[in-house]
Amino acid sequence: MVSERTRWLLQRIDELDGPGTPLQRTCDATLPLLDVDAAAVSLLARDLSDGGIVAEAGDGAHAMIELQLDLGEGPALDAFRSQVDLQVPDLAESDGRWPGFSQAALATGTRAVFAMWLGIGAIEIGVLHLHRERPGPFVGPQAADARTLAEMCSTLVVDLGADGRQSEPADIADALLAPQRAVVHQATGMVSVQIDDGLETALARLRAYAFSHDRSLHDVARDVVERRLRFER
Amino acid sequence: MTTREARLNETFVVLADTLVSGFDLTDLMHTLVSTCVELLGADAAGLLLADGHGRLVVMGSTDEATRTLELFELQNEDGPCLDSYRTGEVVSEPDLATSRRWLDFSRHAVGAGFRAVDALPLRIRDEVIGALNLLRAAAGPGDTADIQAARALADVAAIGILQERLLRESQLLAEQLQKALTSRVLIEQAKGVLAEQGGIDVAEAFDLLRRHARSRGRTVRDCAQDVLDGRLSITDLT
């Protein structure tokens, strides 16, 4: 039931012999195996309201995920929403599909982005995000390998819950999810009361403010929660 | 190759296929028991799987007659399937009429028209998950080749069943993970709403929310949802 190629991939991952959990090592292995500069395995809430990095390799992948969650746009979110694998060989030619994300990502020198949906059966749990400075799509077996590696990651993420160390999924979520995202949700709640409107509108206001003041959503949220910033109706 | 052999090979292929592609557990179990009757000399066959409490439950049977089903059920107290399940070994009895084993089961089996029995364990390495019960009307030992073939089928079925179980457990875990993620968002948002309504900080807001949930015997998540839906406000908590 395990294909030749899968066996080959597992052997390569084994050979890399790094420290860390099987999930971390699989994440590390994507860099040489798929010829990318950075990778991140991220949990994502079904409605994309939250997420958390559970494994990361190379530079800047974490920031790429946070950026997409902050902006509410990006290939990782699209791949997750549609349960597909997305290749963006060159952000510079992505036709304004993700204007905010593309601009910020290109500014870091990233040209190629790949996003593989993670799930168990039909239940989505997150995304495997990869990026590279050199533009260009996956070649040869890379696309199929990326899918296989994504499936391995899915199994390993869920394994984190089954290994006895963290038995409650809520504990997994708490342990894995970045505490700094909490502040964004708190600010959303506060602003919704301040402007006397719904949570989505409140978040949109926060995002718009962050964009027009060229600040991160997290910084703006912190100002709101620490009462240095108020919004009006 | 005889017709029987050809058909048996085909059965193996079908079973192996289910492990790789779209998996239907009911289908698998039905294929297994009906093959035992059609090709392997059994007059009735039943598949029993152990539930969470180690109780053997009939999951597939070639014979829906109550008397036959009862025969399977009886073995939870005493019987060849129970022995096979516990030992992980094949348990056979060529003549239930004269045997002194499993008195209750033997009596019922003979009364239902079965004189001989074989119970094969469903196992993967050290784990036994159930038993395959073959019943024959005529007394006498089962054909060795038949029993061997039935064992091989049982092994393939065991893998499929275990695989399906693992998939279900993983899916459950994945769902719980999703729920935990969205719960966290709701709770943080509710903290913000309450903090703004009451002019207090989020930590205090959380305390009030938790206390309210505890005193009402409700989850924090449900109360948080109420806050976001406008059914619960800071004045209700202070």
In sequence order, the 6+-apart residues with CB closer than 8 A to the CB of B210 are B220
* CA distance to A101, A172, A212, B57, B200, per residue, from A221 (Å): 19, 25, 14, 56, 16
pLDDT digits (tens, 9 = 90+) for B135-194: 999 999 999 999 999 999 898 888 888 888 888 888 888 888 888 888 889 999 999 999
CA separation for the pair B189, B89 (Å, rounded): 58
Residue among B20, B189, B228 whose CB faces A1 most closely: B20
Contact B181 A120 (CB under 8 A): no
Structure tokens at A2: 């395990």
Taking the alpha carbons of A223, A225, A230, A232 in that order, is the dihedral positive or negative? positive
Please report the pLDDT score of residue A180 as a whole number: 66
Chain-chain contact of B182 with A49 (C-beta, under 8 angstroms): yes
Residues in chain A: 233
Q: A44 contacts in B (CB within 8 Å)?
A: 181
Tokens of B200: 């207090």
A contacts of B171 (beta carbons < 8 Å): 120-121, 123
- Residue numbers of chain A with a pLDDT score lower than 70: 1, 160-180
In this prediction, residue A164 carries a pLDDT of 46
Residue B200 one-letter amino acid: I
The answer to whether B193 faces chain A, any CB pair under 8 Å, is yes
- Contact (Cβ atoms closer than 8 angstroms) between residue A132 and residue A112: yes
Residue in A52, A125, A177 nearest the CB of B174: A125
- Report the side by side order of strands in the sheet with B91-93: B56-61, B44-50, B127-136, B116-124, B91-93
Closest partner CB to B180 (pick from A123, A162, A169): A169
Neighbouring C-beta atoms of residue A173, cutoff 10 Å: 24
Strand partners, B119: B91, B133
Q: Do A120 and B173 touch (CB under 8 A)?
A: yes
Low-confidence ranges of chain B (pLDDT < 70): 1, 18, 20-23
Inter-chain touch B194–A189, beta carbons under 8 Å: yes
Chain A contact set for B199 (CB, 8 A): none
What interhelical angle do B144-198 and B3-20 show, nearest 10? 10
CB contact under 8 A, B196 and A49: no
Q: Give, for A90, the enclosing helix (H) or strand (E).
A: none
Rounded Cα–Cα distance for residues B160 and B156 (Å)? 7
Asked whether the beta carbons of B198 and A61 are under 8 A apart, the reply is no
Are residues B184 and A177, on separate chains, in Cβ contact within 8 Å? yes
- Chain B nearest C-alpha distance from A86 (Å): 22
CB atoms within 10 A of CB B53: 6
Placement of tokens 């949109």 in the chain: A204
Distance from CA of A174 to the nearest CA of B (A): 8
Q: Are B182 and A50 in contact (CB < 8 Å)?
A: yes
CA angle (A109, A137, A16) in 5-degree steps:
80
Q: Which amino acid is at A170?
A: A
pLDDT for res A61: 94
Both structure tokens of A112? 């190629």
Which chain A residue has the Cα nearest residue B224?
Answer: A189
Are A51 and B179 a contacting pair at CB < 8 A?
Answer: no
What's the rounded Cα separation, in Å, for the pair A116 and A114? 7
- Give the best residue of A186, A200, A222, A231 to mutate against chain B (max B CB count within 10 A): A186
- What is the value of ipTM here, to two decimals? 0.80
CA B46 to chain A, closest CA, distance in angstroms equals 27
Query: What local confidence, expressed as pLDDT, does residue A171 receive?
Result: 63
Distance CA A86, CA A64 (A): 15
- Which pLDDT does position A133 carry in this prediction? 97
Q: What is the rounded CA–CA span in Å between residue A145 and residue B14?
A: 28
Q: Least CB-CB distance to B178: which of A125, A162, A190? A: A125
User: Which of B185, B208, B232 is most worth mutating to test chain A (most A CB atoms within 10 A of its CB)?
Assistant: B185
Helix H or strand E encompassing B54: none
Q: Which phi and psi angles does B215 have, rounded to 5°?
A: -70, -25
Closest CA to B110 of B121, B118, B99: B99
**B231 in Cβ contact with B221 (< 8 Å):** no
Nearest CA in chain A to B221: A170
